[in-house]
Amino acid sequence: MARSNDQQVLSLLGLARRARQLVSGEAIVLKNIQTNQAKFVFLAKDAGSATGKKFTDKCRTYHVPCSRRFTKDQLSQATGQSRTVIGVVQPGFARKFEELLRME
């Protein structure tokens, strides 16, 4: 069951990208977290340790849910961009990601 949920999340990530509801790139996502515009963050589980710590700490401080379930390759393939960190700015998409990631 978790596999199909992962696939749904990645498909939805591609849809959110086409709807222009994602921000990507470390500096931009960090700024969006700090200004409370990012509602959900995807951080690649194979991100460097400094990057991982920086984003998990910022997400915790600003109360932004963060998922480390996917690899850089999976996130890049889903969005069509080579990225380590992706921020979701639309609350509806963020809620759906949380819902899908909670189901296992």
CATH (domain of 27): 3.30.1330.30
- Encoded tokens for 100: 């899908």
pTM: 0.92
pLDDT digits over 42-87, tens only? 999 999 999 999 999 999 999 999 999 999 999 999 999 999 999 9
Q: What is the largest CA-CA distance in the chain?
A: 36
The tally of domains found in the chain comes to: 1
pLDDT value, residue 1: 43
Could you give the CA distance from residue 7 to residue 30 in angstroms, rounded to a whole number?
26
Residue 22: give the domain boundaries.
Answer: 5-103
- Average pLDDT over the chain, rounded to whole? 93
